[in-house]
Chains A and B, each alone.
Chain A
Amino acid sequence: MLNKLKQMEKFDLITNIVVFVLALLFLLPLFWLLTNTFKTSAEIYQMPPNVLPNKWFLGNLNELFQGQPAMQWITNSFVVAFFTALLSVIISALAAYGFAKLQFKGRTVLFLVVIASIMIPKETFIVPLFDVVVKMNWIDTYQSMIVPNLATGFGTFMLYSYFKSIPESIRESAKIDGAHEWTIFYKLCIPIVKPGLGALFILNFVTAWNDYLWQLLMARSKEMKTLTIGVASLQQDVNPNIGLRVAGAAIAALPMIIIFFMFQRFFIKGATEGSVKE
């Protein structure tokens, strides 16, 4: 280890020290969040702050789950994120297969529209989109938070390359054996692209979990709030209890931190395959 450090060029060594120290600083806000969750409000306000809580205090979490519908918010976020991810994987897999493997008129034009839909944020047409959902009478429902987000072409674009890489000869030989297109898709191709489906599911889940503006517009009642909306609304309450607010933010962050450590490779994959952060 020491030998290796000695072998490094001075320039290399200095830049890596800077990068390492800054990496620790980048973690500091999250460290602050997670440790302050277990401090009393008075201790949070205390300056200079204690690095770790004096006594690990559970009152903030207690109040969050007893005094606020936090469990309901978590359930809502989970339902919305899970079904957005699941339905999007199904719809994207079908469409990606169609675009990558089948011939039909207008394919290139339609696929260009799909790609354009990734690049153009839905926020730019959020007013008429809101009207569409109002007309469907979907305000304050789960489907309003799920279905409009299935329209983006991100998943189709991501899975396209997976289906494209399946050799045509496999499909041809299955065809000669008389297999339907559906059977080829479902029995033959889906197992091959499974890693892509998993990555897409996780990426979609995280995007939906972290969504804010759309869910804010859709959720009207306190019971339909998702976790991000509920936690953000705690900040705007007159309630002066800072501990409760910190605990709320920590609860929203924790599942994402866990998901990151479990599925790190998927995020690397998502970034390299043309991810657009929502």
Chain B
Amino acid sequence: MMNQNKKNIFANNHYSGYLFIAPQILLMLIFIIYPVIKGFKMSFYEVYGMDSYFVGFENFKNLFTDPVFLKSIFNTILFVVAIVVLTIVFALFVATSVFDKNSKYVSFIRGSYYLPVMVSMVVMSIIWNFLLNPSNGFISYMLGNAGIKDVNLLGNPMTVMPVIIFVTFVGNVGQAIILYLATMIGLPEDYFEAAQLDGATRWQRIKYILIPLMKPTTAYLTVINIIAVLKIFVVIQLLTGGGPNNASVTMMYYLYQNAFVYNNTGMASSIGVLMFIIALLFSIPQLKSFLKSK
């Protein structure tokens, strides 16, 4: 009898669809949808010990008059723009240079640029921390040899963001290179070769044929890099802790500090809500293109 029942449930297409997606949807409800709604609610409350009070938009008002938060917005925008531009330009440069070469060489290039992505930002941050150490790091030593003495690149408010951007770039660009290479290698060969017969130089062929063909990939990489940079935490935690004097605080890092260091969950939730909205806005083109393809 039990068996009979089970058979009926699975025989009916309408119900079996729900059964297959149930575990995924249940997890999403508990660990994504509920927290998102709760986060929006929390952003309108202030917590005092065990109690919380509705404060309307007070948290948001406080944020936008908080010089550290304004600094964090500036740093986040700088971070996102710099990483997206550097990543796209450099990845296109690498991929267009090697994509039509012998496959062993391509493998080597791909591997070299992708290994820093594999070993994670935790390990990469630790390595760079050693190399940049002002008293005995290799980079400080090299700069000293070049006549630039006593530099503390991470301790100087002028250089700290460029260094963070550089470290993130090195640990991140491999993803874009792999994707561009896969797309370029997947192109029909005659596209690129036909233009060669017309007497176009390699640079012209790259500029007028290859790069325009990469447009969808570039758009996709732009979106995922914006969102990936938005949530970067570990580089800042391990290299600067947001310092010196908040010079490298990003929205994500300020969210973390408010939530888990200052115990200011209302403020932290408000920052989270703002970041959520930004991420959602940037993912709309992606969602749209999916709906179209369906």
Contacts and interface: CB of A to CB of B under 8 A. Distances in A.
Nearest to A213: B233
B115 A119 contact: no
Interface stretch (B57-65, B66-74, B123-131, B153-161): B123-131
Interface stretch (B12-20, B78-86, B187-195): B12-20
Nearest to B183: A272
B50 to A, nearest CB: 13
Contacts of A110: 21, 25
A91 B23 contact: yes
Given A104-B14, A148-B31, A217-B260, A120 B24 contact: no
Given A103-B14, A252-B122, A27 B115 contact: yes
Contacts of A252: 119-120, 122-123
Interface string B231-271: 10110001000000000000010011001100001001100
A139 B172 CA distance: 31
Given A104-B14, A256-B118, A94 B21 contact: yes
Highest count of chain B CB atoms <10 Å: which of A121, A128, A212: A128
A122 B241 CA distance: 21
A168 to B, nearest CB: 13
A95 interface: yes
B203 A11 contact: yes
B136 A45 contact: yes
Contacts of A59: none
What DSSP secondary structure best describes chain B's contact surface? Answer: helix
Interface string A11-29: 1100110111011101101
Interface string B86-101: 0000000110111001
Contacts of B164: none
B224 interface: yes
Given A26-B116, A102-B20, A151-B27, A129 B35 contact: yes
Nearest to A180: B10
Nearest to A93: B20
A181 to B, nearest CB: 4
Q: How large is the interface on A (under 10, 10 to 19, 20 to 34, 35 or more residues)?
A: 35 or more
A232 B183 contact: no
Contact of A213 (B93, B223, B234): B234
Contact of A125 (B7, B25, B35, B98): B35
B173 to A, nearest CB: 9
B16 A102 contact: yes
B201 A48 contact: no
Contacts of A78: none
Given A19-B109, A181-B10, A277-B175, A249 B24 contact: no
Q: How large is the interface on B (under 10, 10 to 19, 20 to 34, 35 or more residues)?
A: 35 or more
Contacts of A107: 17
Contact of A180 (B11, B203, B224, B269): B11
Highest count of chain A CB atoms <10 Å: which of B111, B129, B201: B111
A16 B255 CA distance: 42
A114 B127 contact: no
Contact of B227 (A121, A150, A152): A121
B134 interface: no
Interface in B21-65: 21, 23-25, 27-28, 30-36, 38-39, 42
A127 B42 contact: yes
Contact of B113 (A23, A47, A121, A152): A23
Given A91-B23, A98-B21, A117-B28, A123 B255 contact: yes
Interface in A143-182: 147-148, 150-153, 156, 180-182
B287 to A, nearest CB: 6
A253 B118 CA distance: 8
Interface string A23-46: 110110110110000000000010
Contacts of A147: 27, 31
Given A47-B136, A108-B294, A117-B28, 5 more contacts: A23-B113, A103-B14, A151-B31, A181-B13, A206-B118
Interface of A: 9, 11-12, 15-16, 18-20, 22-24, 26-27, 29-30, 32-33, 45, 47-49, 91-92, 94-95, 97-99, 102-105, 107-108, 110, 112-117, 119-132, 147-148, 150-153, 156, 180-182, 185, 206, 209-210, 212-213, 217, 228, 231-232, 235, 242, 245-246, 248-249, 252-253, 256-257, 259-261, 264, 267-268, 271-272, 274-277
10 contacts: A11-B202, A15-B96, A30-B119, A102-B20, A108-B291, A115-B287, A127-B272, A128-B42, A257-B119, A264-B110
Pick the 5 closest A-B CB pairs, nearest first.
A98-B20, A119-B283, A104-B17, A210-B120, A102-B17
